[in-house]
């Protein structure tokens, strides 16, 4: 299963527009099951003092882990640039689920990274930080990362313009081919 993750909980984000396109495109271009998780859907019960305990973890968070994270084999993570990195909510989410079913949740999965920013770098630094973080969790990171700079110029009426779609689609096609090659090698 491929899991597409919109890596911010900010309402009305441009990241969500990109993530929605990524999900739709992958779903229509692979026979593999594709699921979507938007950090806007994180349960507020997650934010309590004892969330770093697998036994007291909120049931809603366990459900997300069991239904989406554990059965997935590949993740496509779309993150905006927040203060020169990726959003803290994504790190908090991963930290929260890391106290339960660690190996099943993270071990030896594949990930593609798409960075989104209003600036000119497309969250390159954030994707580097995210790469190091995911490598620690034993992910294999797709050799190419997609920085999308000046995202506001690539969106019109709440939709990605054709040129941005084409760039993302080309990236995703290569990622889907790569995941098959990696599976054959294992």
As a whole number, the mean pLDDT across the chain is 92
Q: What is the pLDDT of residue 46?
A: 72
Nearest Cα neighbor of 57 from 89, 88, 93 is 93
Give dist(CA 173, CA 32) in Å, integer: 13
Integer angstrom CA distances of residue 4 from 48, 117, 119: 26, 18, 23
Q: What is the pLDDT of residue 51?
A: 66
Nearest Cα neighbor of 4 from 43, 40, 37, 41 is 37
Which residues, 6+ apart, have CB-to-CB distance to 98 below 8 Å? 105, 106, 137
pLDDT at 84 over 60: yes
Fold classified for 2-185: Rossmann fold (3.40.50)
Question: Whole-prediction pTM value?
Answer: 0.94
User: Quick one: which H or E segment has residue 18?
Assistant: helix 14-28
Give dist(CA 2, CA 142) in Å, integer: 14
């Amino acid at each position: 299963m491929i899991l597409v993750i919109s890596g911010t909980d900010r309402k009305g984000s441009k990241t969500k527009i990109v993530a929605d396109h990524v999900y739709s495109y992958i779903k229509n271009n692979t026979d593999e099951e594709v699921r979507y998780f938007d950090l806007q859907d994180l349960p507020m019960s997650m934010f309590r003092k004892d969330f770093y305990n697998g036994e007291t973890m909120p049931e809603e968070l366990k459900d997300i882990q069991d239904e989406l994270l554990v059965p997935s084999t590949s993740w496509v993570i779309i993150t905006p640039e927040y203060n020169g990195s990726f959003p803290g909510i994504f790190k908090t989410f991963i930290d929260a689920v890391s106290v339960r079913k660690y190996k099943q949740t993270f071990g030896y999965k594949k990930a593609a990274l798409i960075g989104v920013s209003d600036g000119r770098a497309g969250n390159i630094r954030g994707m580097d930080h995210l790469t190091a973080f995911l490598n620690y969790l034993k992910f294999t990171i797709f050799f190419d990362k997609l920085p999308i700079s000046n995202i506001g110029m690539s969106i019109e009426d709440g939709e990605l313009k054709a040129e941005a779609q084409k760039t993302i689609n080309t990236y995703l096609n290569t990622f889907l081919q790569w995941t098959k090659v990696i599976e054959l090698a294992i």
